Amino acid sequence: MLPSTSASAPAQGNGALSSRDAARHTAGAKRYKYLRRLFRFRQMDFEFAAWQMLYLFTAPQRVYRNFHYRKQTKDQWARDDPAFLVLLSVWLCVSTVGFGFVLDMGFFETIKLLLWVVFIDCVGVGLLISTLMWFISNKYLVKRQSRGADVEWGYAFDVHLNAFYPLLVILHFIQLFFINHVILTDTFVGYLLGNTLWLTAVGYYIYVTFLGYSALPFLRNTVVLLYPFAPLTLLYGLSLALGWNFTHALCSFYKYRVSAHVVSNTARLTELPAAVEMGRMVRHGCLTKAGGRGAANSEVHKRLQQRRTEKQGWQAGRRVQTIRRRRPGWAPAGR
């Protein structure tokens, strides 16, 4: 799938790879093979990918044991079958639509939330975390006697996907059944349940990530990847003591994401000329044509009335100036 520079490969008698084997093991060839299979669903092993998803919850060590078999048979640690990524995408789409339904979002708001979650939260953040872990593991965790081997970037991305799946199921699926009736009720039981789900989800991510890198025989001191459990547990206890509700913050953030464009459009609307603004509100039924009765927003209605008065005063002033030019010495009545 992506760059692979891990250690040994089948060699010829003179200790060098044949040109065919070298081409087959290049990063470009692996990436091309992976992307080509991404659009050929008949070549994907969805049953095996579903098996991996199940065991990521019950026995994640068995999943990484399979990565050892792949290294022995195909000389690469990273997946060469995109079936897991496809199923993860399906899970992500379904759970995000469920999240939009629970938060009472409209169709277009849900679509916008889906695009944010897929391309920013999953892919964008995943690429960032994978690159960071790939750099740290190769820089500080490779054994001195194994300097000829290093961690494949594709394997680092696979580890992130493995760790992200349990987090997704817990926070984007299981949590949905408790959001409106328990978690967002502003009670101790609400944020106790919500924050406990967050602790479980993030704990799963840390643990599965640790298993992924500890499965590589040329890495050392991978136990440091478990150190985030300490601040995580401290943050959990602090949140319960102070009444923080992480799920409430997540829901507010999601709503802000999908409503930001509405706020900006409203701000631009108030800057339009009064006639255009009045016409648009009439078409949408917010105002009637007879004097603006039935205004949905009193502040906007006041502003419209003010602009109408200013416009009438400006027009009256122009008429006075015109008459004075035509009839010198004329003055309005009462002066």
pLDDT digits (tens, 9 = 90+) for 197-243: 999 999 999 999 999 999 999 999 999 999 999 999 999 999 999 99
Q: Quickly state the pLDDT bin for 186 (edges 50, 70, 90).
A: confident
- Span of 37-51, 165-179, 256-270, 313-327 with lowest mean pLDDT: 256-270
- Asked if the model's pLDDT at residue 61 lies above 70, the reply is yes
Share of the chain above pLDDT 90, in %: 51
pLDDT confidence bin for 331, thresholds 50/70/90 = low
SS (H, E, C) the chain: CCCCCCCCCCCCCCCCCCHHHHHHCCHHHHHHHHHHHCCCHHHCCHHHHHHHHHHHHHCHHHHHHHHHHHHHHHCCCCCCCCHHHHHHHHHHHHHHHHHHHHCCCCHHHHHHHHHHHHHHHHHHHHHHHHHHHHHHHHHHHECHHHCCCCCCHHHHHHHHHHHHHHHHHHHHCHHHHCCCCCHHHCCHHHHHHHHHHHHHHHHHHHHHHHHHHHCCCCECCHHHHHCCHHHHHHHHHHHHHHCCCHHHHHHHHHHHHHHHHHHHHHHHHCCCCHHHHHHHHHHCCCCCCCCCCCCCCHHHHHHHHHHHHHHHHHHHHHHHHHHHHHCCCCCCCCC
**Comparison of pLDDT for 172 and 37, the residue scoring more:** 172
User: Which among 41-55, 219-233, 287-301 has the top mean pLDDT?
Assistant: 219-233
The whole-chain average pLDDT of the chain stands at 79
Region 8-31: mean pLDDT is 49
Q: pLDDT tens for residues 129-158?
A: 999 999 999 999 998 877 778 898 989 999
Residue boundaries of the structural domains of the chain: 19-256, 271-326
Specify the pLDDT at position 26: 63
